[in-house]
Structure 1
Amino acid sequence: MAAPLIALLLLTFFHAASVLASANSDFDVRRHLSTVTRYHVAKEISDNSYIPSNIPDQCKPIHLNLVARHGTRAPTKKKMKLLDALGTRLEVLLGNVKEKKSGALPPWLRGWKSPWTGKHKGGELIGLGESELYELGIRVREKFPQLFHEDYHPDIYPIRATQVSRASASAVAFGMGLFSDRGNLGPGHHRAFAVISESRASDIMLRFHDCCQNYKAFRKSQEPSVDKLKEPILDEITKELVKRWGLSFTRQDVSSLWFLCKQEAALLNKTDQACALFSPSEVGLLEWADDLEVFIVKGYGNSLNYRMGVPLLGDVIQSMEQAIKAKEDGLVPGSYEMAKLRFAHAETLLPFSCLIGLFLDGRDFDKILREEPLQLPPKPPQTRIWRGSTVAPFAGNNMLVLYSCSANNNTSKYFVQVLHNEHPTRIAGCGDSDFCPFEVFKEKIAAPHLKHNYNDLCSTESLPTTPANKLWQILGWFFPANTSGTQKDEL
């Protein structure tokens, strides 16, 4: 009897192991990299349960607003130093491993050096990022031929970018795709086009986060509490990795290895090294910890995070109103602005997504109008709407398409459809529809935010007079808005 029982147990064990292996084989770490996710991966992550609106045949697009993040970039100079330090640290850890145990370790760990060692600059748009924006430009033109059939003119298709090179390079890549075969330059028949940039120190339209002193003070004040929230996750995973690999990893080691995993997966399409040190459930927890940070200091965690974006929202509404006026005045296409195209950062895209009510349900939308705090994204394995891999991946974007419709039964003549990463996306403030009457969009979604003034929100003079805030004000007088991009890595 013992032999059949043992055989049955072994069979059960191997079946369970097979099921687990199969489940893990379906797990693609590249879909779980928070805001370091490549666009082509993020674009395929969609809510399959949501059925987008059927746009009536009598509705025609008359204007498009695009707010896009730059494409996939290289690590910044600061992060490259972190990876160099990781290489030194791994050398020390492996030097302490007894010879008989070293055979169980992944071979790549021994002698590992950062792929970016020796580089003196960082943060630039890489070839993969160029392709993301170039191909997006082609797809946008193909999807909305009515808007992009006119000859290029900067007053018809204004293109704006921040003065950070990866954003302006993304604008150029997008424009090359959008206007390909429309000119006489080279074999690709490209044409020249203008990209407008505002000074970093005064760009409150696309770099409001860098010009807002109150936001800088808030973000700095949140760093200790965010680190405290992430500590239990890092400690739990550190303990598991020490047990699994027999190396004396610290919390900082695990944090650096997770960063390496994200860079290898997104930039090098390599998931069998640093990422393979973690189990799928650990990757899910690390992704959630990243998403918490993004939620708290860039998203719905505080109303200042997104309301400092009111200049951008106001510009979007104004451009729609001008398009409506042009339509009402009978102006022909090509005599007015057909599309407004903007290229910036996650710190621009995330607040803008919050301002227009994305990634919320109706109850949460009512809360943000009352300026009540929202609950943090739930811990895995619970599902959550707020995921960095979808809300702001590399090249992530929001397109707001204004439609003119033949009015029937006194209904609205103009509607706004929101596409997030090219997918029609529900808007919490419009009954979870992706096709919203312009009047509703303007009055219910935009107006509650636009009643706030950027200078009032961001001036240090509006801070409560506490010793800490008084010090921040004094420092702000002596050290104006940081424009070097080195104070805190931008996404």
Structure 2
Amino acid sequence: MKAVMSHVSILTVYFSFFSLSLLNDIQAFDVRQHLSTVTRYSVAESSYVPSDIPKECTPIHLNLVARHGTRSPTKKRMRELDGLAAHLEVLIREAEEHHSSLQKVPAWLRQWKSPWKGKLKGGELISKGEDELYDIGIRIRENFPDLFNDDYHPDVYNIRATQVPRASASAVAFGMGLFSEKGSLGPGRHRAFAVTSENRASDIKLRFYDCCENYKDFRKHQEPAVDKLKEPVLDEIMASLARRYELNFTRQDTSSLWFLCKQEASLLDITDQACGLFSPSEISLLEWTDDLEAFILKGYGKSLNYRMGVPLLEDVVQSMEEAIKAEEENHAPGSYEKARLRFAHAETVVPFSCLLGLFLEKSEFQQIQREEPLQPPPKPPQNRSWRGSTVAPFAGNYMLVLYSCPAKSSNKYFVQVLHNECPTPMPGCGGTDFCPFNVFKESIVAPHLKHNYDTVCTKEQPMLKPETSKLLQLFRWLFPLRNDDTGSATASSF
């Protein structure tokens, strides 16, 4: 009997230790860092040791490409959550009708309603997103005081945003931080500043994906295939949820609960409801499916995804060349541009990171230079460089700072690349973050410039068959074009 009691005691201690260890693992796992591109912004933490920039080097120009800050769900997504709430009611009712125990069902889930229920608009920048951009603006000014010591002028500090309100609102929040205490408006001594936008239909620098017909075709045909790739993971987790909570969850329920988890954790700091339904390993798998989608549809999965971003890369290089010209010709302070600051979307930021060749494994930079396809990010528990939470979280940003180094004889100008405000190594520049401007242009930029936006994005018109061509000629003969009083050609009506 004593032996049996001894074994029971040992097992009790073992299971207590195991439970405590499991609890510690779960507590150490912060779901808010595993939400792919729905992750909130935080300054990047890296083990990479940045380059020592010589004291004689001074920054003369800064390019910023940033994503908008944390936003509310879109109208379409809010309707999805309303649908989830309705189906959860059905599942609970069915369980009650079959006299099933609801003890395993979390109390919050039994009466859950979407926090966005009844809301008519969506997708706007929320207060957390405003704070993210405002704080970035303050830090950039503090980190580069020499660049932001001039009086404000839109030609000196050029701020651009897409026409989507959350992007322009992000630009405003950033500008309020950047120029705080630089004016005379209100207690914060703010000042007015300009944010310019180009029409959505022609904005090939910040919304190139919206203007690229070939990309829109690719995405339309590829999205169903990406959904198919995600299905096995969703089905596996769906089965686990059904066993765990004894409810007949569907694949769509699983997908919607994961979306709810991301919204609750990122926007509301709630991590013990929808996110609490999943184990850390399940969250890692769901995060990977989102990363896989971003990789295929926005990133290295197809060269078209980033080749169409060449106008943005050209704009960045052109602004640096203009700054070098101003430096060489000793232009007076306040007479030339010191910063070009852009605010857009994940569909802008992800391709831009690919154009710079970031977040690649060791041999992959050469592959993209040769335009070879890359393998998708490996499935957990394998490690991977490509993570949406790193590449393009809310307010994720890339800065390219141009330095003038007079003491350098062979290379006077250098580019430093910062990702989320931290220097990041460039595979195309020997793994350093501080790259001679000429090397940056030759090794990183030039291979992309052989691709013209129009040829990359314009759909090829199908060749007319001879019969079709003859029919068209006959049509034109029967219904000739006529000139109106203004001299413009209009087709005859029939």
User: With structure 2 as the length reference, what TM-score do the two structures score?
Assistant: 0.91
Distance 1:212 1:344 in 2: 16
**Deviation sequence 1:129-180 (CA, Å, 0-9, x none):** 1111111100110000000010000000010000000000000110011001
Identity, in percent, stands at 67
Aligned to 2:70: 72
Aligned to 2:467: none
Given that 1:362 and 1:432 are in contact with CA atoms closer than 8 Å, whether structure 2 keeps it comes out as: no
Q: Secondary structure at the match of 1:96?
A: helix
Q: Does 1:202 align with 2:202?
A: yes
Q: Which has the larger radius of gyration?
A: 2
Distance 1:106 1:401 in 2: 50
Aligned to 1:489: none
Deviation beyond 4 Å, 4+ runs, structure 1: 462-465
Distance 1:154 1:243 in 2: 60
Aligned to 1:29: 31
Given that 1:185 and 1:191 are in contact with CA atoms closer than 8 Å, whether structure 2 keeps it comes out as: yes
Aligned to 2:19: 17
**Deviation sequence 1:447-485 (CA, Å, 0-9, x none):** 1101111010000127999xxxxxxxxxxxxxxxxxxxx
Query: Which of the residues 43, 51, 57 maps onto 1:59?
Result: 57
Distance 2:214 2:442 in 1: 27
Given that 1:362 and 1:431 are in contact with CA atoms closer than 8 Å, whether structure 2 keeps it comes out as: no
Aligned to 1:306: 306
Given that 1:296 and 1:302 are in contact with CA atoms closer than 8 Å, whether structure 2 keeps it comes out as: yes
Distance 1:206 1:164 in 2: 11
Aligned to 1:288: 288
Give the partner amino acid of 2:195: V
Report 1:306-455 matches (<5 A).
306-408=306-408, 410-455=409-454
Given that 1:361 and 1:428 are in contact with CA atoms closer than 8 Å, whether structure 2 keeps it comes out as: no
| Distance change in 2, residues 1:431/1:462 (3 Å) | farther
Q: Which runs of 5+ in 2 are unaligned?
A: 465-494
**Deviation sequence 1:28-68 (CA, Å, 0-9, x none):** 0000000000113xx24x332x1111111111100000000
Distance 1:62 1:377 in 2: 37
Shift of 1:439: 0.5
Aligned to 1:477: none
Distance 1:414 1:441 in 2: 10
Give the partner amino acid of 1:428: P
Give the partner amino acid of 2:65: V
Give the partner amino acid of 1:460: K
Given that 1:84 and 1:117 are in contact with CA atoms closer than 8 Å, whether structure 2 keeps it comes out as: yes
**Deviation sequence 1:198-242 (CA, Å, 0-9, x none):** 000110010000000000011111112211111111011011100
Given that 1:362 and 1:429 are in contact with CA atoms closer than 8 Å, whether structure 2 keeps it comes out as: no
Root mean square deviation of aligned Cα: 1.3
Given that 2:160 and 2:196 are in contact with CA atoms closer than 8 Å, whether structure 1 keeps it comes out as: yes
Q: Secondary structure at the match of 1:101?
A: coil
Aligned residue pair count: 460
Report 1:100-139 matches (<5 A).
101-139=101-139
Given that 1:398 and 1:421 are in contact with CA atoms closer than 8 Å, whether structure 2 keeps it comes out as: yes
Given that 1:214 and 1:463 are in contact with CA atoms closer than 8 Å, whether structure 2 keeps it comes out as: no
Q: Secondary structure at the match of 2:95?
A: coil
Given that 1:425 and 1:433 are in contact with CA atoms closer than 8 Å, whether structure 2 keeps it comes out as: yes
Distance 1:194 1:349 in 2: 22
Give the partner amino acid of 1:373: P
Give the partner amino acid of 2:25: A
Distance 1:109 1:9 in 2: 34
Distance 1:423 1:271 in 2: 28
Report 1:1-12 matches (<5 A).
1-12=3-14
Aligned to 2:260: 260
Give the partner amino acid of 1:210: D
Distance 2:148 2:196 in 1: 19
Report 1:127-206 matches (<5 A).
127-206=127-206
Given that 1:61 and 1:401 are in contact with CA atoms closer than 8 Å, whether structure 2 keeps it comes out as: yes
User: With structure 1 as the length reference, what TM-score do the two structures score?
Assistant: 0.92
Give the partner amino acid of 2:270: K
**Deviation sequence 1:320-341 (CA, Å, 0-9, x none):** 0111111111123322100000
Shift of 1:431: 1.1
Shift of 1:363: 1.3
Give the partner amino acid of 2:259: F
Given that 1:71 and 1:133 are in contact with CA atoms closer than 8 Å, whether structure 2 keeps it comes out as: yes
Given that 2:361 and 2:385 are in contact with CA atoms closer than 8 Å, whether structure 1 keeps it comes out as: no
Q: Secondary structure at the match of 2:272?
A: coil
Q: Secondary structure at the match of 1:443?
A: helix
Q: Secondary structure at the match of 1:415?
A: strand
Aligned to 1:473: none
Distance 1:362 1:265 in 2: 33
**Deviation sequence 1:343-376 (CA, Å, 0-9, x none):** 0000000001100111113410100011101111
Shift of 1:103: 2.4
Given that 1:200 and 1:207 are in contact with CA atoms closer than 8 Å, whether structure 2 keeps it comes out as: yes
Shift of 1:80: 0.5
Shift of 1:4: 1.3
Report 1:461-472 matches (<5 A).
461=460
| Distance change in 2, residues 1:463/1:362 (3 Å) | farther
